Amino acid sequence: MTSAVSEKLQETLFELNRVEEREHKFKEENRAILSAISAMSGASNKIEVFNTLLKVIERYVAFDNALVLTRNKDTEDRYSCLVSTSHEVEKFHWRDGGTFSRCVNGQTVILYAPERVQEFSLLEPIDFESCRSALITGMTVNASESILLLFSSNRGGFDTKAQQVIERFRPLIERTIIDIDYRERLQCLVSVKTQELTASRQRFRDFAKTAGDWFWEINNNLQFTYLSSPSNESLSAEPQAIMGQLNRQPDVKNKLLDLIQVEEPFSEVEWKVYNQGAEQWISLSGRPYYDKRGNCMGFRGTAKDITIRKQRLHELQQARQQAESANAAKSQFLAMMSHEIRTPLNAVMGLLDALQQSPINEEQESWVLQMDKSAQLLLTIINDVLDLSRVESDRFALHPENINPRESVTVVFNQLKEVSSGKDIKLDVEVADNVPKLIYQDGNRFTQILLNLVGNAVKFTETGKVQVFMHAEGNTLKLAVKDTGIGISHNRKKDIFQPFTQADGSITRRYGGTGLGLSICKKLVSMMKGSIDFDSQPGVGTTFYIDIPLIKPLPQEIVHKDKSEESKLKPMNILVAEDSKANQMVVKLMLEKAGHHVVVANNGQEAIDMIDEGKTQFDIILMDMSMPVLCGIEATKQLRAKGCQLPIIALTANAMNEDKEKCLQAGMDDFVTKPIRSVVLRQALQRHVPSDATT
């Protein structure tokens, strides 16, 4: 019994010694932890904090290198090095392969063969010489994950005892890493804020140099408390001298006082001052400033010399007035030219209409057809030249129809035959068999493009030939106009399609021209969804290339020359107010051929008198716009004032949009521009005839 008690006592004493040893060890570890915490609090940077931690750990765990990794788990995939003991391990790249996830969730892991672990797969073979074994722990703080890695160059460099030490030191490690991370972020924030402050200061300096010629500060009594030196060396007077004029100009002073009373920022308050008898303009901008209690102390701002700007503004206003006057004169001139050119052209085209409907032989019909196409082409060109505002604003309008492209070439060649033969130039055309007989395009515009290009080729060629090639390629119609003329130099290629540009300014007097042809061609081709380009060699010749889409023609309709449609209108009594004898003859001829009875008035007053007399009961009135004695606008107004309800259709050579608006506002019912075509006139009559005048 005594032996058993003695043995039990020995066991108890042994256990007590072990407890005392553990207590001593824990006290020593606690003293080390407290010492580390004290040292860390005095550390000046993250390296010192980290080294203090490692000095505590290496008392109990032997290692060669250490590394702290961190990442934001919400935004980052890879870990980045926060701090390390060696550049050798600092360069490693790390990605979570499962082990790191276990560690940040509270585990401490020993790796005896790191090369088999996914996280170490990015390391090179030579890197494993310094990390043959590893001890890893981690923690998560908010969204930040941190990993502590201890490396040993020996296999089995760590054991379970080292693992237990790290587990006991985990709170200190966590606190240290948080501190390191906080310092890192704080240093980054300080660095960013420092850079922003530096940039802000530099920005302010730059703004200060450009915002105004000088800075000023005034109190609530308009007394200057600060006035800087001028930054503009071109100023002809000192700021103090200029500001001294403030009391002598009560209007400006009162304006500034009003702004101060409402305590609102102001900008660009213009102030005219006089310096040595010369007028000078100053622009003031400012805003209120306050004391700590929120009381307004005055205004601060900038002052700028705007004399040159005011002078330029005055010059621009004068230039604008001159441009507006010139534009008004141009519009007036174009309106007059439109009227003067369309009036004789009306007679030409009207008589051509009459000839087409007359009994003529086949050869004469081809002549008339050629004349008609030429007249239409002339009308198109006149419209483009006269309506410059439409040309300048790209407001062309295409009117596609079924056309034969071969006929367009024939029309152009017939137009230029006389000129080309007089210069010993041969005109030649080659049209491939695959070119359709009909395409859907604007015939007049298509012909205009060819006329401009072939006309230019003839104009700039003295001898040789001008050739037109045409073939189809897929869904594209390809044209080429080739000449043996003077050519175009390479440095003029970029300007050749600009308005009012000649290939060579020095030859303008010799060859003439407005320089609009190629510009109009390019715009028309672009509207057709095509392209235009050219190759040229000075002294050899030029070839222009055009590609436009091939659009299938619409199903053809058989159009009878007015006869089927004329039968729809019963004979009517029509009053025509027109001062031109030629146009009287044309309109009367068109209407009488359609079976109508026509009475002609030479001006608006005669038309009113005929309506008042009532000798003839008219069904409709055709009214010219510009006539002597009384114009069509005033005549229409007077007729409407008298209660006249007859349809009134304007027949006028004034083709501008504003002319149409004037006619409609005066009370007219429709607007037909000259040259008048019989089909257009018939359509206008059909729109306004009384219900009992149709069959």
Give residue-wise pLDDT tens across range 404-426.
Answer: 999 888 888 888 887 788 788 88
**Residue 162 vs residue 544, higher pLDDT:** 544
Q: How confident is the model at residue 512 (pLDDT cuts 50, 70, 90)?
A: very low
Q: Is the pLDDT of residue 285 over 90?
A: no
Mean pLDDT of 136-155: 84
Mean pLDDT of 54-64: 83
Q: Is the pLDDT of residue 564 over 50?
A: no
Do 444 and 376 contact (CB within 8 A), yes or no? yes
Tell me if residue 323 falls in helix, strand or coil: helix
Give the pLDDT score at 344. Answer: 73
Q: How confident is the model at residue 505 (pLDDT cuts 50, 70, 90)?
A: very low
Distance between CA atoms of residues 68 and 84, nearest Å = 6
Tell me if residue 276 falls in helix, strand or coil: coil
Distance between CA atoms of residues 403 and 438, nearest Å = 5
Report CA torsion sign: 603, 609, 613, 614: positive
Give the pLDDT score at 482. Answer: 93
- % of the chain surpassing 70 pLDDT: 75
Label each residue of 541-571 as H, E or C: EEEEEEEEECCCCCCCCCCCCCHHHHCCECC
Q: Is the pLDDT of residue 68 over 70?
A: yes
Report CA torsion sign: 552, 558, 563, 567: negative
Do 139 and 177 contact (CB within 8 A), yes or no? yes
Distance between CA atoms of residues 373 and 379, nearest Å = 10
**Residue 428 vs residue 590, higher pLDDT:** 428
Mean residue pLDDT of the chain comes to 78
Give the pLDDT score at 155. Answer: 86
Torsion angle of the four alpha carbons 124, 127, 128, 134, in this order, in degrees rounded to the nearest 10: -120
Domains, in order of start, for the chain: 13-187 (3.30.450.40), 209-311 (3.30.450.20), 397-549 (3.30.565.10), 573-687 (3.40.50.2300)
Give the pLDDT score at 513. Answer: 44
Q: How confident is the model at residue 343 (pLDDT cuts 50, 70, 90)?
A: low
Q: How confident is the model at residue 383 (pLDDT cuts 50, 70, 90)?
A: low
Mean pLDDT of 636-651: 90
Distance between CA atoms of residues 269 and 254, nearest Å = 12
Q: Is the pLDDT of residue 1 over 90?
A: no
- % of the chain surpassing 90 pLDDT: 11
What b/e readout covers 499-512, taking b as 16+ CB neighbours within 10 angstroms? beebbeeeeeeeee
Cα–Cα distances in angstroms (integers) from residue 148 to residues 85, 137, 257, 431, 601, in the given order: 12, 5, 68, 85, 110
Helix spans in 244-361 (H): 250-262, 307-356
Give residue 602's identity as a one-letter amino acid code: N
Give the pLDDT score at 234. Answer: 47
* Of residues 665, 669, 673, 602, the one with CA closest to residue 637: 665
Q: Is the pLDDT of residue 388 over 80?
A: no
- Written as six digits, the tokens of 544 are 């222009």
Mean pLDDT of 388-399: 57
* Of residues 63, 41, 62, 66, the one with CA closest to residue 51: 66
Mean pLDDT of 638-661: 82
> 576 - beta bridge partners?
600, 622
Do 103 and 134 contact (CB within 8 A), yes or no? no
**Residue 485 vs residue 178, higher pLDDT:** 485
Q: How confident is the model at residue 563 (pLDDT cuts 50, 70, 90)?
A: very low
Distance between CA atoms of residues 632 and 638, nearest Å = 10
Residue-wise pLDDT tens digits, 461-492: 888 899 999 999 999 999 999 999 888 877 77
- Written as six digits, the tokens of 677 are 């075509």
- Written as six digits, the tokens of 32 are 């080390």
